[in-house]
Amino acid sequence: MKGKKQFRHGKFERREKFNGRTSHNQEKIYMYGRHALEEALAKAPQTVRKVFLSPEAAERDLRENLSKRGIPFSLMKSNDAAHLVGKDAAHQGVIAVVDPSSLVVDFHVFKKSLKPTEETILVLLDELTDPHNVGAVIRSAAAFGASGVLIPEHRQAPVTGAVVKVSAGMVFSVPLVSIGNVNYAIQGLKEMGFKTYGLVMGGTSNIADEKFEAPTLFIVGNEGRGIREKTLELCDVRLRIPMDPRCESLNASVSAAIVLYEWSVRHSRAMTNTK
């Protein structure tokens, strides 16, 4: 089926439908870059449907790895890469067709397998629209021991090739969880014992003072308006990051990285646990 191109932050990215449906969990995307492919093959090979390689990138070990896993591949012509992912994409001669429906797990399925302890941390994205922020948050979540990243199905940047690239392949290392209703998901996690922290400019609690002694849910709000009011009302703590008054605010993904690091300092074992 012929795909359509979408323009996202200066890069064309082709997205194709599965079974005629348009939900982002039912589309396949083009992932690019050798490191991202290697992470996918090591952590989630079931998501890779086909690989396109430039003659320069088609080393024997990579071709053998793909053949061993039964993943078809073909050599690209000189202009194929620009047609697939745009001329500005740093693809390194490696482009893979990925099925994100094999990567993203439903919230109800995820919740059934979740056995939270005080070493458990989740990150919920509340309508982030920049795929670069989404990818960066996922990368930080993987780096600091998160057990999952919760991604709304609506009004939220979905998992795309740009997200995979920015995450440095970490989308294959930390569970990505699809949620239909943000507030319903938060209520369900609170019933399981999670303490909920909203990242808020001018929040009432300083991150340096938090001990994070319960299963933790961090909520990262939209780049412009922050966390929606009804969602903010469900937060047990409105968390702030102390900073120089000359700085008005921090990028959403930077804020997430800071609080995840602060949490990891108190829970160093979480980064060595098998997720």
Q: Calculate the CA 177 to chain-centre distance.
A: 9
Contact in structure between 102 and 31 (CB atoms under 8 Å): no
pLDDT in tens, 11-47: 323 333 323 333 344 456 888 888 888 888 988 898 8
Assign 253 a pLDDT band (cuts: 50, 70, 90). Answer: very high
Q: Please report, as a single letter, which amino acid is at residue 209.
A: D
**pLDDT of the residue at 17:** 34
Architecture of domain 4-102: 2-Layer Sandwich (3.30)
**pLDDT of the residue at 27:** 59
Tokens of 139: 């990368």
Q: Outline which parts of the chain fall under CATH 3.40.1280.10.
A: 104-271
Assign 103 a pLDDT band (cuts: 50, 70, 90). Answer: confident
**pLDDT of the residue at 206:** 92
Q: What is the pTM of this model?
A: 0.79
Greater confidence (57 vs 17) lies with 57
Place of tokens 């071709």: 63
Q: Outline which parts of the chain fall under CATH 3.30.1330.30.
A: 4-102
| Dihedral-angle region of residue 202 (phi above 0 means left; psi in -120 to 50 means alpha; beta otherwise) | left
Q: Calculate the CA 141 to chain-centre distance.
A: 8
Contact in structure between 252 and 157 (CB atoms under 8 Å): no
Burial call 181-194: b when 16+ CB within 10 Å, e when fewer? ebeebbebbbeeeb
**Separation of alpha carbons 43 and 40, rounded Å:** 5
| Fold assignment, 104-271 | Alpha/beta knot (3.40.1280)
Assign 91 a pLDDT band (cuts: 50, 70, 90). Answer: low
Residues 6+ apart with CB under 8 A from 266: 211, 212
